[in-house]
Amino acid sequence: MTLAHPWTAAAGAAIIALCAAFVRRAHRRANGRAFAYSNLEFFDAAARPRTWIVPALDALWLLSFAGVAIAAARPHLALSAPASNSSVIVCIDTSGSMASTDVVPTRAAAAASAARAFIAASPASVKIGIVAFSQTAIVLAPPTDDRAAASAALARLPAPNGPTAIGDALESAAGLFPPFGVHAIVLITDGVSNAGRDPTAIVSTLAAQHIPIFGIGVGTRTGDRIARTGERATLDEAALRGYAHSTGGSYAQADSGETLRAAMRRLGRTTTEARRDVDCALAFALAGASGLCLAFLIASAVGTHP
């Protein structure tokens, strides 16, 4: 929660503290006068059933005043809600390094399984597109709300082969978005770009268009040998973190099929959420005013005043 006028809240807190001190002092003086009764046993018996009322009523007064003070400071809450006209493009690396078996059964198979988990977890209103990339980028499915079509596109993922053109994949994804709505890119890769366009330039363009990149680094940090070529499959986490940071997205590393699917399920629930700024001043004002009215009625009924 944020406050549009924090100094108003600070002043209100100071006034409430002074009121609390005044009430405590008043109670002490009242207790001192109470012992002037000649019949202390009678006074104690009469007062004991209501001993809880005084501190409870004091708390109600103070909380009610606090609600009014917070309302005067114009509080706002940032709430997340599913955005309308939202689209997500899932870019899946199909380069030769995705044949590595450090993620069981292979990085490529785990990535495809995770993409299915993402599709299943996404709200029905979200349009999902699929882009595969190795030496070049291939659009397997444009953004669609047809979940069957999006899932069927994953069956057409090419076998792992060739270099990695992350820049081309991001550029292809950016070209698939409609003119309006909330857009995001999910990039599933080992992060080592060694072909095609420079990803940095494309990332700058995406940042300017407020399109976040959510990077998923597939693979262990130690990597593994690719059986067919004998080359070591690595993981460039620094690059993926950079893409995500520059565009306002996030990065997660997945060193197993289960962690990869879990990360994609989380993204499916959050990538298309829009944050709304909600003014809560009226709610706090009503709560504070209601509390003051209730406190006044109770105090009048039991003859107790703050």
CA–CA distance, 72 with 59 (Å, rounded to integer): 20
Q: Which DSSP letter does residue 235 get?
A: -
pLDDT of residue 56: 74
Q: Which of 143, 239, 155, 231 is nearest to 189 (CA)?
A: 239
Let me know: does 132 contact 158? Beta carbons within 8 Å.
Answer: yes
- For the chain, domain boundaries: 2-78+278-302, 84-271
Q: Which residues pair with 141 in a beta bridge?
A: 130
Q: Counting Cβ atoms within 10 Å, is residue 133 exposed (0-12), middle (13-18) or buried (19+)?
A: buried
Three-class DSSP category at 260? helix
pLDDT of residue 91: 96
Q: Which of 115, 26, 12 is nearest to 67 (CA)?
A: 12
CA–CA distance, 98 with 100 (Å, rounded to integer): 5
Give the strand pairing for 182-189 and 213-218.
parallel
CA–CA distance, 42 with 153 (Å, rounded to integer): 86
How far the first Cα of the chain sits from its last, in Å, is 30
Q: Which residues pair with 2 in a beta bridge?
A: 76
The number of helices, as runs of H, and strands, as runs of E, in the chain is: 10, 11
Q: Which of 99, 93, 101 is nearest to 135 (CA)?
A: 93
pLDDT of residue 293: 78
CA–CA distance, 211 with 208 (Å, rounded to integer): 8
What values do phi and psi take at 242, rounded to 5? Answer: -65, -45
Those residues of the chain that have pLDDT short of 50 are: 49
Q: Which residue has the tokens 């809560």?
A: 280
CA–CA distance, 209 with 188 (Å, rounded to integer): 21
Q: Classify domain 84-271 by CATH number.
A: 3.40.50.410
